[in-house]
Chains A and B, each alone.
Chain A
Amino acid sequence: MPVENVVETDVLVIGGGMAGCFAAIKAKERGVDVTLVDKGYVGKSGQTPWAGSYVLFNPEWGDNLDAWINQVTTVGEYVNNREWTEIVFQDSYARYQDLVSWGVEFAKNDEGGLFRSTTSLGPCRAVHMEPRGFAEILRKQAVKKGVRVLDRIMVTNLLKQEGKIVGAIGIPMESYDLYIFKAKATIICAGAAGFKPAGWPISELTADGDAMSYRAGAEITGKEFVDTHGTSADYPAMHAHGMPPMGAKGPPRHKVINAEGNEVPGRGTLFLEMEFEAHAGRAPLYFETPGGKSIRVGGASSGMSVHKAEGIWPADTSGATSVSGLYAAGDSLGTMQMGAVYGSIGCALGGSSVTGARAGVAAAEYALQAGKPTVDEKELARLRKIVYAPIERKGGFSPRWVTQVLQNTMIPYFIMYIKHGDRMQAALTIVEFLRDHLVPRLTAGDPHELRLAHETKNMVLNAEMRLRASIFRTESRGCHYREDYPRRDDPNWLAWVTLKEEQGSMKVLKKPIPKKWWPDLSKPYEERYPFRFPGE
Chain B
Amino acid sequence: MSIERIDSELCNGCGICVKSCPMDVIRMDRESKKAVIQYPEDCMLCGFCVQDCPQNAIYISPAKSSPFIVSWG
Using a CB–CB cutoff of 8 Å, the interface residues on chain A facing chain B are: 39-41, 44-45, 49, 132, 151-152, 173-174, 196, 198, 201, 203-204, 232, 235, 237-239, 241, 397-398, 400-401, 404-405, 408, 448, 451-452
A201 touches B51 (CB 8 A): no
* Nearest CB on A from B41, distance (A): 7
When chains A and B are docked, how far (Å) is the Cα of A238 from the Cα of B3?
11
**Which A residues are CB-close (under 8 A) to B38?**
448
CB closest chain-B residue, reference A205: B22
**Interface contact A203-B23, CB-CB below 8 Å:** yes
* CB closest chain-A residue, reference B25: A448
Contact in complex: A237, B24 (CB < 8 Å): no
A-binding residues in B (CB < 8 A)? 2, 19-24, 27, 38-39, 41-42, 44-48, 51, 62-64, 66-67, 69-70, 72-73
Contact of A44 with B69 in the complex, beta carbons under 8 Å:
no
Which residues from A are CB-within-8-Å of B44? 196, 201, 203-204, 237, 239
Please determine whether B41 and A203 come into contact, CB atoms closer than 8 angstroms: no
Contact assessment for B19 and A44 in the assembled complex, using a CB-CB cutoff below 8 Å: yes
Given contacts A196-B44, A398-B73, contact A203 B64 (CB under 8 A): no
Q: Which 8 A-B pairs have the closest CB atoms?
A: A401-B73, A237-B64, A235-B62, A203-B44, A40-B22, A238-B62, A238-B45, A201-B46
CB neighbours (8 Å) of A237 from chain B are 2, 44-45, 62-64
Which B residues touch A45, using CB under 8 A? 22
Kindly provide the distance from the CB of A296 to the nearest chain B CB, expressed in whole angstroms: 13
Which residues does chain A contribute within 8 Å of B46, judged by CB atoms? 201, 239
List B contacts of A404 (CB < 8 A): 66-67, 69, 73
Measured in the bound complex, the distance between the Cα atoms of B67 and A45 in whole Å is 27
Specify which chain A residues have a CB less than 8 angstroms from the CB of B73 in the assembled complex: 397-398, 400-401, 404
Contact partner of B69 (CB less than 8 A), chosen from A39, A241, A405, is: A405
B64 with A238: CB separation less than 8 A = yes
* A-B residue pairs in contact (CB < 8 Å), sample of 8: A41-B19, A41-B20, A151-B19, A204-B44, A232-B62, A238-B64, A239-B46, A400-B41
Residues of chain A contacted by B20 (CB below 8 angstroms): 41, 44
A225 to chain B: closest CB distance in Å? 24
Residues in chain A near residue B69, CB distance under 8 A: 404-405, 408
Contact A203-B24, Cβ < 8 Å, known A237-B64, A398-B73 = no
Chain A residues near B48: list those with CB within 8 A: 44, 49
Q: A203 CA to B67 CA in the complex, in Å?
A: 17
> Is the CB–CB distance between A132 and B51 below 8 Å?
yes
- The residue in chain A whose Cβ has the minimal distance to the Cβ of B21 is A40
- Tell whether, in the assembled complex, residue A448 and residue B19 are in contact, meaning their CB atoms are under 8 Å apart: no
Q: Which residues on the B side are within 8 Å of A49 (C-beta)? A: 48
Tell me the complex Cα distance, A239–B51, Å: 14
B62 and A41 within 8 A (CB): no
Closest chain-B Cβ to A258's Cβ sits at a distance in Å of: 24
Complex-state Cα separation, A235 to B41, whole angstroms: 16
Q: Assess whether B72 is in contact with A204, with CB atoms less than 8 Å apart.
A: no
- List B contacts of A239 (CB < 8 A): 44-47
Q: Nearest chain B CB to A131's CB is how many angstroms away?
A: 11
Closest to A402 in B: B73
- Distance from B1 Cβ to chain A, minimum over Cβ atoms (Å): 10
State how many angstroms separate the Cβ of B30 from the closest Cβ of chain A. Answer: 11
* Chain B minimum-CB-distance residue to A232: B62
Asked if residues B39 and A448 are in contact (CB atoms below 8 Å), the reply is yes
Chain B residues positioned under 8 Å from A173 (CB to CB): 24
Q: How many Å lie between the Cα of A241 and that of B73 in the bound state?
A: 31
